[in-house]
Amino acid sequence: MTAPSLSARDLALLREAIALSARSRAQGRHPFGALVADAAGHVVARAINDSLPPHGDPTRHAELVAVAQAARLLAPDALAACTLYSSAEPCCMCAGAVYWGGIGRVVYALSERRLLALTGDHPENPTFSLPCRTVFAHGQREVAVIGPALEDEAALAHDGFWTRDAP
């Protein structure tokens, strides 16, 4: 599914985030990837999931890492013009990072609902049924959200991953 408000640049950057999720999986991590692009479409931060459950730091989601990198590089006014592109809908923790980091827009591929259908009750991904739009709606500033888009493409990195004996 492609949202009608996505530009060719949005689609290309979203596909890059999806490619990062495949790279994350290839490195033995959970299949999530994200990047932050400035108003001109230049990528300022890229990240793969680095949380390494069940023994690593569970706060190192790709979205949070990318937002933190961008926040170290850009001034608040530049961050407000940035977009986070994510292979999956930001969880409530990552939505908080987007909000507090000052990112003005989010474009995501895989919805939280579709992710839950893929992960089931896997203990390493206890999916929160809390859409990022709901998190942002409770803030004092607007964060534009587009998604889900390209869900079938994004789901490929998860294919077979969440079985109990997956790598």
Q: Which residues are catalytic?
A: 63
In a 13 Å sphere around the CA of 104, the CA atoms on its Cβ side amount to: 11
Tokens encoding 146: 């587009």
- C-beta atoms surrounding 121 within 10 Å: 9
Sign, Cα dihedral of 19, 8, 4, 64 = positive
Q: Of 127, 152, 144, which Cα lies nearest the Cα of 85? A: 144
Place of tokens 């889900």: 148
**Is 45:27 a contact under the CB 8 Å cutoff?**
no
